[in-house]
Amino acid sequence: MSTDDMVHVARWNWGEKEWSPFSAGEMDRRQADLRAHMAAEDLDACLLTSFHNICYYSGWLYCYFGRKYGMVVDADRATTISAGIDGGQP
């Protein structure tokens, strides 16, 4: 089996975002604060791995069942990293 036979990274767009416990303005403010800190420290990106930080910066609180999750924030975007079994959450 070659690496061409395997999917290493998949990008799924599951449509419109679901309800979030935080307003869009609040999420924008939180991510802008993180990006300002990243710029001050000359960081290109930030990898978040605790469910506390992932929830704080994305509004997504997941249940940990042995799978690793993450969130990458750079100057332009914020992307969650989740298992395919979770149906594209958040």
Q: What is the DSSP letter of 70?
A: E
**pTM of the full predicted structure?**
0.74
Query: SS3 letters for 5-58?
Result: HCCCCCCCCCCCCCCCCCCHHHHHHHHHHHHHHHHHCCCCEEEECCHHHHHHHH
Task: Write the pLDDT tens digit of every residue in 8-59.
Answer: 666 666 667 667 788 999 999 999 999 999 999 999 999 999 989 999 999 8
| Predicted local distance difference test score (pLDDT) of residue 6 | 56
Full residue range of the structural domain in which residue 54 is found: 44-90
| Predicted local distance difference test score (pLDDT) of residue 26 | 96
**What region does 43 belong to: left with phi over 0, alpha with psi -120 to 50, or beta?**
beta
In a domain? residue 90: yes
In a domain? residue 10: no
Domain count, the chain: 1
CA 81 to each of CA 47, 67, 90: distance values in angstroms, whole numbers, following the listed order: 10, 11, 10
| Predicted local distance difference test score (pLDDT) of residue 7 | 60
In a domain? residue 82: yes
Task: Write the pLDDT tens digit of every residue in 59-88.
Answer: 888 777 777 889 999 999 999 888 776 555
